[in-house]
Structure 1
Amino acid sequence: MFNALRKPFKRLSLAALPLLALGAQVPAAQAQGWQPTRPVEFIAPANPGGGWDTLVRTSSMVIQSEKLAPQNFAAINIPGGGGAVAWAQIARDAKNDHKLFATSPPIILVPLAGTSRFSHKDFTPVARLNTDYSIVLVRKDSPYETINDLFEAMKTNPSLSVGGGSAAGSMDHIAIAGAAAEAGLEARGVNYIAFSGGGEAMISLMGNHVEAVITGAGEASGQLQGGELRALAVSSPERLGSTLADVPTFKEQGLDYTFEIWRGVMGPKDMSPEARDYYEDLFARMVKTDAWKQASEQLGWIDAFQTGEEFGVFLDGQLDQFSTILGDLGLLRR
């Protein structure tokens, strides 16, 4: 099993603040064609504190500060099922042109694992925004100083748990299982504990209920600055800048392993083409602003913008890739 898993896990192209963003005046050059006529619900399908939540709130604040839209973008958290609860609600509102949600690899992985009947094909791709990486965190008083220390302990004691903010068989689980396989562990045997979001996983780590947490590097930046946690490894090809410059990569520690987390925006399945085009243009303008670039630098996000059409093709490719990976893990249920 280990040998079969090593190659698929070498590099995975993956891609996760309840406040309201205040309204802003749209520039005159954009004040034509379809525009939102009421506040836009911008949904993070998880509790506050995770990657989806950070993406939604950061985007909303930049849209406000740069006066890119004529209506409020209201950040709304709908946790549960690794995203499945929110997707079910959005799917029932298929023609709503005033609803968006943040997305990332769980939109592919959770349905494949059999825990949601809704997949990316039940929604409208609007834009892919960025790429992030996975990071492994422990408490500041943890006995593990390196990622290899943690994996060696897991070999000796398979009950040691690693928490994550996505469902079993989804993004965080795949990320830690892949790294463990590269370190010589049985990927299926990793004791992964799924939480309803990155924030809840962090709370569990601080409460000494899990040995480590795997999460997005961007959402970990603030936690590391607080000094209560330490990072053992990041899944990027090279060290990340800003607040994560001191965190070593898996590769630096002898594990030939990288892992990417893409994030983007989708809407309901029957969103009008005019609304889809409006939002695609909105996010294309947003990612070019200095405010977005500054926030991305602070969060460790890397630009990976794609139009809605390009994003849809990318998602279909992810479906093929992850079907194979979950099959290797024995987690494919579709």
Structure 2
Amino acid sequence: MRRDTFLKSMAALAAAGFVLPAAQARGANLKMMLPANPGGGWDLTGRALGKSLQESGMAASMQYENKGGAAGAIGLAQFVNASKGDPNALMVMGAVMLGGIITGKPPVSVTQATPIARLTSEYNVFVVPAASPFKTMQDVIAALKKDPGSVKWGGGSRGSTEHIAAAMIARESGVDATKVNYVAFRGGGEAIAAILGNNVSVGGSGYSEFQQYIESGKMRAVAVTSPTRIKGLNAPTLKELGLNVEIGNWRGVYAAPGITPQQQKALTDMVVAATRHKSWQESLEKNSWTPALLTGAEFADFVDREFALLRAIMAKSGMI
């Protein structure tokens, strides 16, 4: 085929809305919505993925936007409304966003966006400030039983996994879960500042967000929500303490509403390629994230099941 004929054919395909997946993906100028303030798990995950996309050659550039609040619903609304049909737009999301949708009932839903991939899984760690009178989770629970309002729990948005875990701990301890004094923050950075400033009694989040403060002695880990102890962390599981509480946090990435199946596949292939790059593997190791890659219809089905499971747990814990 002559070169001018080939170029005319490509132009005709583009005009008709057909885009070759590899051409659309590789070397793209991507935008990443981070629906939380800087310093939290979504921010860390999105920027780590963006770095891997660039270093693997999948993206020529990355543009980030932080938009915190309402368990990610504010950023989600902006993403859904402003990115329709944009094949170069991505958004980080996860279990916290589902919990926020259940409790907050925002006007938009993650189902309006396009699922790409689940990336990681991580369990929560509960910590107290170094100077706290609480030395163990048993101390926290004793105070909770005596006066639920005296224990101020701090963490992510209302409906986050640490909020759900706090309600489950109360219920398992014989305390009315609706009386849990939970303070929601717009991002991990705000929650960390509140814990370090002794403005909350106990804080919860992923280990990766607290690790440096635990290791430096500024925070003391008192319990984890995992089925077994977290490697390198001297903190018991809640089940070890006789509480039937186990809940994990996962994070993933969605694309804009209204993109074509071909564009969805191209973005999925691009993200999968980035997770195989050494940059992403280094991020997993550094942040103690468990790889949990899931794509396509399996990821969409997982989100549906997770939504139903979280709703059931939250209803049982008196949160909705």
Q: TM-score range by the shorter chain?
A: 0.7 to 0.9
Q: 1:161 aligns with which of 152, 166, 172?
A: 152
Q: What residue in structure 2 maps to residue 152 of structure 1?
A: 142
2:91 equivalent among 101, 126, 129: 101
Tell me which residue corresponds to 1:143: 133
- Does the 8 Å CA contact 1:36/1:98 hold for their aligned counterparts? no
Task: Please list, as runs of the form range in 1=range in 2, the aligned pairs for 1:121-270 lying within 5 A after superposition.
Answer: 121-159=111-149, 160-167=151-158, 169-241=159-231, 244-270=232-258
| CA drift at 1:306 | 0.5
The alpha carbon displacement at 1:38 in A equals: 5.1
| Deviates most, 122-131 or 67-76 | 67-76
Indicate if the aligned counterparts of 1:224 and 1:230 stay in contact, CA closer than 8 A: yes
Count of residues paired in the alignment: 299
CA distance 1:149–1:124, shift in 2 (3 Å): same
More helix by share: 2
Deviations 1:163-196 (A, max 9, x none): 11122x3332112111232233222221111111
Structure 1: stretches of 5+ with no match in the other structure:
1-29
- In structure 2, how many angstroms separate the alpha carbons of the residues matched to 1:279 and 1:261? 23
User: Does the Cα contact within 8 Å between 1:240 and 1:300 map onto a contact in 2?
Assistant: no
2:311, 2:172 → 1: CA distance? 20
Check whether the contact 1:131–1:304 (CA below 8 A) recurs between aligned residues. Answer: yes
Conserved 8 A contact 1:164-1:173:
yes
CA-atom RMSD, angstroms?
2.0
Aligned identity (percent) is 32
Q: Does the residue aligned with 1:34 lie in a helix, a strand or coil?
A: helix
The answer on 1:43 being equivalent to 2:50 is no
| Residue 265 of structure 1, CA deviation | 0.3
Task: Please say if 1:63 is aligned against 2:60.
Answer: no
Q: Rate the CA distance shift 1:33–1:248 in 2: closer, same or farther, 3 A.
A: same
Matched, 1:320 2:293: no
What is the aligned partner in structure 2 of residue 27 from structure 1?
none
> Helix, strand or coil for the counterpart of 1:95?
coil
Q: Does 1:89 align with 2:89?
A: no
The CA distance in 2 between the partners of 1:182 and 1:68, in whole Å, is 49
Q: Determine the structure 1 residue equivalent to 2:270.
A: 282
SS in 2 for 1:92: helix
Deviation (angstroms), 1:204: 1.2
CA contact (8 A) 1:47 1:196 kept: yes
SS at 1:258's partner residue?
A: coil
Paired with 2:112 and 2:89, the residues of 1 have a C-alpha distance of: 14
The residue identity in structure 2 corresponding to 1:69 is M
Q: Matches of 1:180 and 1:97 in 2, distance apart?
A: 44
Deviations 1:93-142 (A, max 9, x none): 22111211111113322222134122221111100011100110111111
Partner of 2:293: 305
Q: CA deviation at 1:31?
A: 9.1
Partner of 2:106: 116
Which SS does the other structure have where 1:73 is aligned? strand
Which residue identity is paired with 1:274? Q
Q: Which has the larger radius of gyration?
A: 2
Q: Evaluate the alpha carbon distance shift between residue 248 and residue 291 of structure 1 in structure 2; reply closer, same or farther with a 3 A threshold.
A: farther
8 Å CA contact 1:68–1:282 kept in 2: the answer is: no
> Which segment is superposed worse, 204-213 or 132-141?
204-213
Displacement of 1:76: 2.0
Q: Report if aligned partners of 1:128, 1:308 keep a CA contact under 8 Å in 2.
A: no
Moved >4 Å (runs of 4+): none
Q: TM-score, normalised by structure 1?
A: 0.83
Q: Which amino acid in structure 2 is aligned with residue 268 of structure 1?
A: A
Q: How much does 1:36 deviate?
A: 6.1
TM-score (norm 2): 0.87
One-letter amino acid of the structure 2 residue matched with residue 164 of structure 1: G
